[in-house]
Amino acid sequence: MVTNARAKILDGALELLRVENGGSITLDAAAKQVGLTKPGLMYHFPTKEALMLGVVDHVAARWERKLIDHLGCEPQQASATQRIASYVEVALTGSFDRADFAICADAVYHPALTTTWVARFEPWLALPPELSAAQRARLTAARLLADGYWTAAATGVFPVPEHERAALLAVVRDLLKGTNP
């Protein structure tokens, strides 16, 4: 029950970021969004910082589940190319919105939130030192293309038209062919 209540609160907090003209997450607004009293919400998240850490972890965990589902294993069991390819595929085929972007962007200003993103994504995005400069460049370029794509899709600022997504995926897959599996 507690897990379901926490998930409901976290999903409700994300909904606050999806409202027209943007929104913000406060303890009062999050409680109201999910039909709780502020003390009821604070049972699960005693401070705004605890709520924000929970929201970031919730979003990052969703990404991580998508990555694992796509890859079919944990990142430690895959090569750098397989991990980056999975990231690219999820970023270019997944559904993301302004809430995803807001949570990611907010981490820039809050080191505790950044720590959560790094802990969740470093196993996926870190490149081993033994890769050649050319391999590192190709993998990094593929990741940055994916970052740009999902950012544009989530924000709606200069998004790539849907009919061009398959061609873009083909370009990235071709780029990844120049790396070792």
Domain locations in the chain as residue ranges: 1-46, 49-176
> Domain 49-176 in CATH: superfamily?
Tetracycline Repressor, domain 2 (1.10.357.10)
Structure tokens at 20: 């027209």
Whole-angstrom distance, CA of residue 107 vs CA of residue 170 = 31
pTM of the model: 0.88
Domain 1-46 matching CATH 3.40.50: the answer reads no
What is the residue-level pLDDT of the chain in tens, covering all 181 positions?
Answer: 456 889 999 999 998 888 765 678 889 999 999 999 999 999 999 999 999 999 999 999 999 999 999 999 999 999 999 999 999 999 999 888 888 888 888 888 888 888 989 999 999 999 999 999 999 999 999 999 999 999 999 888 998 998 999 999 999 999 998 777 5
Q: With beta carbons less than 8 A apart as the criterion, state whether 91 and 149 touch.
A: yes
Q: How many CB atoms lie within 10 A of CB 141?
A: 15
E-state strands within the chain = none
